[in-house]
Chains A and B, each alone.
Chain A
Amino acid sequence: MTAVLSPRDRRSLQRASLKHRLAEKGVDRVLWLLVPGAVFVALLFVYPFLYGLQLSFQPKGGGNPFQNYVTFFSDPYLADTVWITLRLGLPAALFNVLASIPIAFRMRGRFRGKRALTTLLVIPITLGTVLTAEGLLAFFGPTGWFNRIWMALGADEPARLTHNYWGVLFSLIITGFPFAFLLTLSYLSGIDPTLEQAAATLGASKRQRFRTITMPLLAPGLAVTFCLSFVLAFSVFPSAVMVGNPAGETHVMSIAAYETALRDNDFAMGSAIAMLMALVMLIVIGVVLIWRTTLYRGATGGKG
């Protein structure tokens, strides 16, 4: 007697085997849970982004699809925004990362008041850009407390620190430093302190230990911290308007994008600037991350 499979049975067998083969690749019913998230990202992030991309190739007046980009690079008022933004974002991110290294170093381990000091360093996050801007204008302004002390110390004229490059840089440091510090501190506390202790028993000096043990383990984390700080500083908008000189020295890319899109209602040009903004940012981050791949990326000895 031979077992004869009815077509229906055969189909269900095939379906079962397909299910098994898919399950071996990790595709099973659990993946249905991804659907809301995937639909969400597609609908609210990918679709608008692609829509903006194709819109940027449809200039308002018609004609050459690259017209918006040509306009951007041939108009110095717009083209200069790239350098203005980088000139603000790179130093701010670099300063925030470099300054948080020694401070995070002092904050390792346990000591009295550590929690209070951490909270104090995190407080600027709550200030928000507007209070920071108001405060900078009042504190560093020509008749503010800073310049009063500055004059009392014997300066001839008040330092010009608001409505220019410096005001925006200060606001970027005040809002960006807490983030950089928190990230650096968490990367640093992920490095096993016994590695340094072992080096110390072998006679390595403090400087040697820092240069050859802590730094190589910390560097990949610093690269990520730099990227995130740069993104924060790069998208500067409210403070560049309020404490900066939005029509001149601090006419950053986000101001240009906002003004063309929502004030002049040229969404095509605005999208083109937004796309260029994304491109510049991805280039900087790409360079940093490529450099990061050349670094040691093994375990940091953390007891995770």
Chain B
Amino acid sequence: MSIKARPVVWLTWGALIFFMLNLVGIVGAVVTNSFAESWFGTWLPNGYTGKWYGEAWRDYRLLDVLVVTFQVAIAVVAISVLIGVPTAYALARRTFPGKKLLNVLFLLPILMPPMTYGIPLATVLYKFGLAGTMFGVIAANLVPAVPFVVLTMTPFIEQIDTKIESAARMCGANTVAIFTRVLAPLLVPGILAASILVLVRTVGMFELTFLTAGPTSQTLVVSLYEAMSSAGIRPQQMVDSMAVIYTGSMLLLLVIALRFVNPTQLVTRLKEPA
């Protein structure tokens, strides 16, 4: 390593450490406040208690919210896999007229800010009386989820050798058998990875759920936002403990996700040098 590169290296690590310190401060402030008896204008709160978690759990009816979140997320994952995987298969295996257009159509919902199509979508859902229902929330969350499954599964299917399918057919397997006994087992890791990523995205998706949810179909992010914007009625500590619960569940999901998916290999599936 040359001497000249040293300042750059120091600067990089310095900036990284500064970023991390701020991050720790930001998270730490919320976590500390969620356990604080009361905290105003001092370095640290003047007493600690866990009561806010219990109160937040009761007052915001977090159990109901978590059940709704779970139902929405599972429904979105299941439907997006059922629709997305066959589409990805056809896109990976065939070239046909109009394929480019279809590819663009599957890319746009991921590329567009959710607000731009969320507002027209909410308008349409209101027109048909579906806004505010679980169905509406699930439908809205599917819009980016299905293309996401298609996009992650297409390269995954492309790398499966077509000869395997041909061989199975020669040995007398029909189309159904090829799908269930040959392709499905090979696709399981990819489907698992895509499902977990869709799950994380759906639990964290704010805009689309916010635009389409009613009082009984709010997911955790949206009720957290509602709790924060109507703060003042309830102590700040309750909102903070709810935020900690949200982050805790997201962290759990992400840790599980990272066990199955190496995030850096989603773009260019490269083998890390062993």
Give which listed residue, B22, B23, B95, B113, contacts A281 with CB less than 8 A.
Answer: B113
Given contact pairs A130-B224, A235-B207, A148 touches B43 in the complex (Cβ within 8 A)? yes
- By beta carbon, the residue of chain A nearest B29 is A138
| A143 lies within 8 A of B41 (CB) | yes
Measured CA separation A99–B19 after assembly (Å): 11
| A271 lies within 8 A of B87 (CB) | no
Residues of chain B within 8 A (CB-CB) of A37 are 83-84, 86-87, 106, 146, 150
Give which listed residue, A49, A130, A144, A221, contacts B120 with CB less than 8 A.
Answer: A49
Given contact pairs A28-B94, A187-B268, A189-B268, A270 touches B102 in the complex (Cβ within 8 A)? no
Docked complex: B224-257 residues within 8 A CB-CB of A: 224-225, 228-229, 239-240, 243-244, 246-247, 250-251, 253-254
Residues of chain A within 8 A (CB-CB) of B11 are 102
Measured CA separation A146–B97 after assembly (Å): 59
Q: Within the complex, what minimum Cβ distance (angstroms) separates A99 from chain B?
A: 7
| A48 lies within 8 A of B117 (CB) | yes
Measured CA separation A237–B135 after assembly (Å): 24
Counting CB contacts under 8 A, is B139 at the interface? yes
Q: Within the complex, what minimum Cβ distance (angstroms) separates A252 from chain B?
A: 10
- By beta carbon, the residue of chain A nearest B224 is A130
Residues of chain B within 8 A (CB-CB) of A33 are 86-87, 89-90
Counting CB contacts under 8 A, is B160 at the interface? no
Residues of chain A within 8 A (CB-CB) of B23 are 123-124, 174
| B90 lies within 8 A of A34 (CB) | yes
Give which listed residue, B93, B139, B146, B269, contacts A304 with CB less than 8 A.
Answer: B269
Segment with Cβ contacts to B, from A4-12, A13-21, A38-46, A68-76: A38-46
- By beta carbon, the residue of chain A nearest B27 is A135
With an 8 Å Cβ cutoff, the count of chain B residues facing the other chain is 96
Measured CA separation A261–B200 after assembly (Å): 28
Given contact pairs A133-B228, A277-B113, A285-B111, A44 touches B121 in the complex (Cβ within 8 A)? yes
Counting CB contacts under 8 A, is B161 at the interface? no
Residues of chain A within 8 A (CB-CB) of B12 are 102-103, 105-106
| B239 lies within 8 A of A190 (CB) | no
| A129 lies within 8 A of B206 (CB) | yes
| A52 lies within 8 A of B268 (CB) | no
Q: Within the complex, what minimum Cβ distance (angstroms) separates A237 from chain B?
A: 6
Docked complex: B95-154 residues within 8 A CB-CB of A: 95-97, 102, 105-106, 108-109, 111-124, 126, 139-140, 142-143, 146-147, 150
Given contact pairs A242-B228, A258-B115, A44 touches B143 in the complex (Cβ within 8 A)? yes
Counting CB contacts under 8 A, is A212 at the interface? no
Counting CB contacts under 8 A, is A31 at the interface? yes
Q: Within the complex, what minimum Cβ distance (angstroms) separates B38 from chain A?
A: 13
Give which listed residue, A26, A118, A146, contacts B95 with CB less than 8 A.
Answer: A26
Specify which of A45, A119, A253, A300 lies most central, judged by the most chain B CB atoms within 10 Å of its CB.
Answer: A45
Q: B217-229, CB under 8 A of A: which get 1 and which 0?
A: 0000100110011
| B93 lies within 8 A of A30 (CB) | yes
| B150 lies within 8 A of A52 (CB) | no
With an 8 Å Cβ cutoff, the count of chain A residues facing the other chain is 96
Q: B4-16, CB under 8 A of A: which get 1 and which 0?
A: 1100110111011
Q: B256-273, CB under 8 A of A: which get 1 and which 0?
A: 001000011111111111
Q: Within the complex, what minimum Cβ distance (angstroms) separates B101 from chain A?
A: 10
Give which listed residue, A124, A190, A267, contacts B267 with CB less than 8 A.
Answer: A190
| A145 lies within 8 A of B29 (CB) | yes
Measured CA separation A40–B9 after assembly (Å): 49
| B251 lies within 8 A of A139 (CB) | no
Counting CB contacts under 8 A, is B182 at the interface? no
Measured CA separation A148–B42 after assembly (Å): 9
Counting CB contacts under 8 A, is B26 at the interface? yes
Q: Within the complex, what minimum Cβ distance (angstroms) separates A225 from chain B?
A: 9
Docked complex: A228-246 residues within 8 A CB-CB of B: 228, 231, 234-235, 237-238, 241-242
| B264 lies within 8 A of A189 (CB) | yes
Counting CB contacts under 8 A, is A290 at the interface? no
Give which listed residue, A36, A231, A262, contacts B211 with CB less than 8 A.
Answer: A262
Counting CB contacts under 8 A, is B91 at the interface? yes
Give which listed residue, A25, A119, A258, contacts B119 with CB less than 8 A.
Answer: A258
Counting CB contacts under 8 A, is A97 at the interface? no
Counting CB contacts under 8 A, is B20 at the interface? yes
| B254 lies within 8 A of A25 (CB) | no
- By beta carbon, the residue of chain B nearest A171 is B26
Give which listed residue, A44, A128, A189, A205, contacts B246 with CB less than 8 A.
Answer: A128
Residues of chain B within 8 A (CB-CB) of A47 are 124
Give which listed residue, B4, B16, B90, B221, contacts A128 with CB less than 8 A.
Answer: B221
- Complex A-B: 5 CB contacts under 8 Å: A41-B105, A130-B228, A186-B265, A190-B268, A261-B122
Given contacts A46-B105, A183-B267, 10 further A-B contacts (CB under 8 A): A31-B90, A37-B146, A45-B121, A122-B263, A126-B204, A182-B263, A189-B270, A254-B207, A258-B115, A258-B119
On A, residues with C-beta under 8 Å from B are 25-28, 30-31, 33-34, 36-38, 40-41, 44-49, 51-53, 55, 99, 102-103, 105-106, 110, 118-120, 122-136, 138-139, 143-146, 148, 174, 177, 182-183, 185-187, 189-190, 205-207, 221, 227-228, 231, 234-235, 237-238, 241-242, 253-254, 257-258, 261-262, 267, 270-271, 273-275, 277-278, 281, 285, 300, 302-304
